[in-house]
């Protein structure tokens, strides 16, 4: 039986999980790969902690198990990259810094396969990385970069090769979904729900990428590359997060039998791609409305096979590590038969203002009779059909209400708001909140 030698760079939460799985079920993995998988080297600044946390033999760590300086760690990394004995390198250092970017390029240029969970790096700086892999005829495994343990990458890349992906949507950030679940089920304010998410380990001390849509955006960029073969940048996407969701928004959603979720959405129509990450009101008839807590779920709609859902844990040490190990086994078994997916250069991205959805528009106005009628008339003038108007919520001199529209464009709604401001200056006390409704 041939041997595939593995080295892991970084042995924190994810890298430690990878090492743990490989050491615990090595015989099973080797049998599945039809190749003996051997973990030979680990580079980690604090090996004793990692060894004790993940039950990894200390002898696997470079430096004989002593703590390493950054310089020492980098020297060991360069030795591993130069070694002809190593076949696959696992990058779990994380981040999109020049150091990590150059490290991945060096790994590929050395003729070694790369496996990583680094969604930020691949989403924002992945073009050259994938091109380098293609030029050197080596493979990049990145299943763990999107939704942790859910095998969405292989499902699209391998399972649906006989089909055509029409749309991809879903809940791809567990932190935001946990926060929204707490707000909806436990009636918590956003700040309290975020604090609880941090206490439970779902949110980082700095949660910005989770709550502002950035993390979900990285994942959607990678799925668009796979589903449509298009090279995407963050500037191509319309991204907004959940940090401005309030109790009133939750109540208005309940009135139309919906739940608010941070949704990744991409759809291709007549060559144009509509893609966005933003809070949406998901109707309870849609399976995504029932996905609660830190769970992730991806909905794939295909031309021939219809709608598919993939649901599971989107983060966690062994959950994410399992996807990395899956890539290792896949590369070890199939090697050159695996195809990297180079993205095309053309970007046929539709203007977000032309997305056709039903929308919920929430207005805050002065508490003045006739306001609701004036606003609904202005909306109707833009040829927007209204489905429902909520009950008014009054607070002193202020009123708040929402309008659910039939399918229309964001551009139409913006024109209606412009007319309201033009004809009745001062009527709107804040910027109207506009959220798509997903059936």
Per residue in 253-276, pLDDT tens?
Answer: 999 999 999 999 999 988 889 999
For domain 3-148+319-337, give the CATH number. Answer: 3.40.50.720
Distance between terminal CA atoms of the chain? 52
pLDDT at 345: 59
Whether the pLDDT of residue 339 is over 80: the answer is no
Ranking 107-116, 212-221, 332-341, 412-421 by mean pLDDT, the lowest is 332-341
Q: What percent of the chain has pLDDT over 90?
A: 86
Close Cβ partners of 352 (under 8 Å, ≥ 6 residues apart): 238, 274, 276, 410
Whether the pLDDT of residue 94 is over 80: the answer is yes
- Give me the CATH topology for the region 152-312: Dihydrodipicolinate Reductase; domain 2 (3.30.360)
Catalytic residue among 219, 225, 259, 313: 219
pLDDT at 235: 84
**Same fold for the pair 152-312 and 352-438:** no
pLDDT at 396: 83
- Cα dihedral 389, 392, 393, 398 sign: positive
- Cα dihedral 60, 66, 69, 72 sign: negative
Confidence of residue 183 (pLDDT cuts 50, 70, 90): very high
Q: For residues 323 and 144, what is the distance between their CA atoms, to the nearest angstrom?
A: 5
Count of other CB atoms within 10 angstroms of residue 178: 22
Q: For residues 435 and 247, what is the distance between their CA atoms, to the nearest angstrom?
A: 15
Q: Are 329 and 335 in contact (CB under 8 A)?
A: no
Q: For residues 56 and 64, what is the distance between their CA atoms, to the nearest angstrom?
A: 13
Whether the pLDDT of residue 234 is over 90: the answer is no
Confidence of residue 347 (pLDDT cuts 50, 70, 90): low
Nearest to 377 by CA among 410, 336, 408, 419: 419
Buried b (16+ CB within 10 A) or exposed e, 316-334: bbbbbbbbbbbbbbbbbee
In total, the chain counts a number of residues equal to 439
| Correct CATH for 352-438 of 1.20.1260.60, 3.30.450.20, 3.30.70.260, 3.40.50.2300 | 3.30.70.260
Greater model confidence, 337 or 74 = 74
Close Cβ partners of 163 (under 8 Å, ≥ 6 residues apart): 302, 303, 304, 305
Q: What is the mean pLDDT of the chain?
A: 94
pLDDT at 253: 96
Q: For residues 362 and 242, what is the distance between their CA atoms, to the nearest angstrom?
A: 15
Q: For residues 38 and 410, what is the distance between their CA atoms, to the nearest angstrom?
A: 54
pLDDT at 233: 85
Whether the pLDDT of residue 337 is over 80: the answer is no
pLDDT at 115: 98
Q: Is 20 left (phi over 0), alpha (psi -120 to 50) or beta?
A: alpha
Tokens standing for residue 391? 């009950």
Tokens standing for residue 431? 């910027």
Q: Can 219 be counted among the known catalytic residues?
A: yes
Using one digit for the tens of pLDDT, what is the confidence trace for 271-299?
Answer: 889 999 999 999 999 999 999 999 999 99
Confidence of residue 368 (pLDDT cuts 50, 70, 90): confident
Q: Are 266 and 219 in contact (CB under 8 A)?
A: no
Q: For residues 30 and 103, what is the distance between their CA atoms, to the nearest angstrom?
A: 27
pLDDT at 346: 62
Beta-bridge partner residues of 114: 89, 140
Mean pLDDT of 293-312: 96
For the chain, which residues make up each domain, given as ranges?
3-148+319-337, 152-312, 352-438
Mean pLDDT of 140-147: 96
- Give the 3-state secondary structure of the chain: CCEEEEEEECCCHHHHHHHHHHHHCHHHHHHHHCCEEEEEEEECCCHHHHHHHHCCCHHHECCCCCCCCHHHHHHHHHHHHHCCCCCEEEECCCCCCHHHHHHHHHHHHCCCEEEECCHHHHHHHHHHHHHHHHHHCCCEECHHHCCCCCCHHHHHHHHCCCCCEEEEEEECCHHHHHHHHHHHHCCCCHHHHHHHHHHCCCCCCCCHHHHCCHHHHHHHHHHHHHHHCECCCHHHCEECCCCCCCHHHHHHHHHCCEEEEEEEEEEEECCEEEEEEEEEEEECCCHHHHCCCCEEEEEEEECCCEEEEEEEECCCHHHHHHHHHHHHHHHHHHHHHCCCCCCECCCCECCHHHCEECEEEEEEEECCCCHHHHHHHHHHHCCCCEEEECCCEEECCEEEEEEEECCEEHHHHHHHHHHHHHHCCCCECCCCEEEEEEC
């Amino acid at each position: 039986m041939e041997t595939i030698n593995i080295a892991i760079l970084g042995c924190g939460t994810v890298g430690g999980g990878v090492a743990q799985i490989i050491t615990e079920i090595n015989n099973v993995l080797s049998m599945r790969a039809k190749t003996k998988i051997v973990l030979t080297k680990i580079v980690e600044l604090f090996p004793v902690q990692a060894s004790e946390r993940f039950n990894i033999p200390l002898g696997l760590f470079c430096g004989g198990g002593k703590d390493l300086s950054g310089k020492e760690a980098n020297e060991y990394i360069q030795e591993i990259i130069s070694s002809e004995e190593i076949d696959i390198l696992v990058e779990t250092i994380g981040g999109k810094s020049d150091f990590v970017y150059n490290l991945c390029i060096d790994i590929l240029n050395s003729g070694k396969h790369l496996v990583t969970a680094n969604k930020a790096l691949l989403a924002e700086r992945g073009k050259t990385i994938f091109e380098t892999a293609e030029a050197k005829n080596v493979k990049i495994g990145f299943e763990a970069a999107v939704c942790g343990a859910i095998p969405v990458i292989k499902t699209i890349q391998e399972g649906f090769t006989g089909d055509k992906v029409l749309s991809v949507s879903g809940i791809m950030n567990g932190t935001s979904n946990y926060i929204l679940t707490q707000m909806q089920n436990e009636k918590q304010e956003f700040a309290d729900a975020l604090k609880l998410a941090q206490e439970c380990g779902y949110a980082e001390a700095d949660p910005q990428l989770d709550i502002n849509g950035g993390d979900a955006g990285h994942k959607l960029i990678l799925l668009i590359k796979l589903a449509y073969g298009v090279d995407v940048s963050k500037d191509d996407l319309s991204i907004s997060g959940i940090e401005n969701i309030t109790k009133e928004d939750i109540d208005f959603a309940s009135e139309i039998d919906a739940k608010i979720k941070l949704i990744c959405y991409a759809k291709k129509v007549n060559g144009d791609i509509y893609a966005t990450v933003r809070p949406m009101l998901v109707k309870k008839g849609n399976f995504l409305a029932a996905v609660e807590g830190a769970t992730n779920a991806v909905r794939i709609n295909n031309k021939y096979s219809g709608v598919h859902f993939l649901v599971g844990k989107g983060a966690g040490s062994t959950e994410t590590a399992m996807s990395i190990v899956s890539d290792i086994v896949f590369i070890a078994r199939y090697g050159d038969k695996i195809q990297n997916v180079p993205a095309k250069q053309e970007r046929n991205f539709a203007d977000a203002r032309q997305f056709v959805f039903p929308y919920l528009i929430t207005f805050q106005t002065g508490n003045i009779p006739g306001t609701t009628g004036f606003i609904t008339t202005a909306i109707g003038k833009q040829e927007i059909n209204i489905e429902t108007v909520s009950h008014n919520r009054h607070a002193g001199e202020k009123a708040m209400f929402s309008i659910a529209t039939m399918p229309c464009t964001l551009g139409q709604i913006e024109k209606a708001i412009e007319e309201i401001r033009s004809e009745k200056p001062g009527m709107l006390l804040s910027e109207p909140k506009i959220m798509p409704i997903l059936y």
